[in-house]
Amino acid sequence: MEDVAALAGVSRATVSRVVNDSPRVSPEAKESVYSAIRELGYVPNRAARTLVTRRTGAVAVVISEPESKIFDDPRFATVVRAAAGRLGELDAAMVLMLVHSPEDEARTERFLLGGHVDGALLFTPHRGDPLPSAMATLPIPAVFGGRPWAADHRLHLVDTDNREGGRIGSRHLMDLGRRRIVSVTGPLDEHAAIDRLDGWRLATGANEAETALLTESGHFARQGGERAMRALLDRVPDLDGVFAASDLMAAGAIDALRMAGRRVPEDVAVVGFDDQPAVAPHTSPPLTTIAQDASEQVRRMVHRLTRLIAGEDVPPGREVLPVHLVRRGSA
């Protein structure tokens, strides 16, 4: 920094203000400093800056899922891409952490406690995951995507209206005149899957016995959706509508229906959930689905997190984003 100041003909303090984007620098001084930086190849030392500011300039994105699911499900690609893009706009580095074992959980806690990042965005949906409870006590700002199982009023959450989405999708099938409507659910150790199933029950009025008969888990996977659909066809051969709790499962269900000789939508109408650009428009026929905006969810999470990192008084709680129906050929 002394070398840059000498070459630019300004004080060291001016170089510091330019590097830290202070508005209290004239355009001429900025240009002189940037010219000297280019000529000398100067790069600010992040470790030294951290000692002064107590900030690392990095944010952890923690996803509690197996690697196979993260790289097979386009929703996670959307989440990671949105987080990287938004954090990049804020000049923050993203540290991606995949957690799928007790060893991973312990390692993640140690990393977050070690002062390596300024905050964390967490996607930890499964029952029994210890990270949500741990984050409530760790001295690091954190925001959760979706609703974790830890019922702690100190947590910050940005969620999707999954129950309303399940209700809208199932109601749409009923409005089309479908009366034997089954549901391919996600894993019922996740609130999102439970809420979408509750929405289906609200719309159809299914009781406990009917729910057991008319639902099958596809575990948010395409192959799982296909297997679940085959099981439902065996149990409920007169089914005429399917609400699948994800687009991937809906695509698998359409595959199974085609193999069983059922036409979509003539014999069986199908509604999915997510409106994934890589899936919903490309099924045959294109998929009617419930749209949720994963990019907007991440944007809201990052906004909340940056305010927490800056020391603002942000009340904890759950922010819920709306959903809507997108009509295509499958229903």
Convert the pLDDT of each residue in 140-166 to its tens digit.
999 999 999 887 788 999 999 999 999
C-alpha–C-alpha distance, residues 243 and 200, integer Å: 8
* Alpha helices for 56-161 (secondary structure H): 67-72, 74-89, 102-113, 131-135
Region of residue 260 (phi > 0: left; psi between -120 and 50: alpha; otherwise: beta)? alpha
Convert the pLDDT of each residue in 240-273 to its tens digit.
999 999 999 999 999 999 999 999 999 999 999 9
Band (pLDDT 50/70/90 cuts) for residue 5 is: very high
pLDDT confidence of residue 136: 78
Q: At what angle do helices 74-89 and 294-309 cross, to 10 degrees?
A: 40
Band (pLDDT 50/70/90 cuts) for residue 54 is: low
What does pTM read for this prediction?
Answer: 0.83
Q: Which residues does 7 contact at the CB level (< 8 Å), separation at least 6?
A: 36, 39, 40
The phi and psi torsions of 184 (rounded to 5 degrees) equal -95, 110
C-alpha–C-alpha distance, residues 327 and 331, integer Å: 7
C-alpha–C-alpha distance, residues 77 and 55, integer Å: 27
Whether residue 60 contacts residue 121, with contact meaning beta carbons closer than 8 Å, is answered with yes
125 token code pair: 């949906």
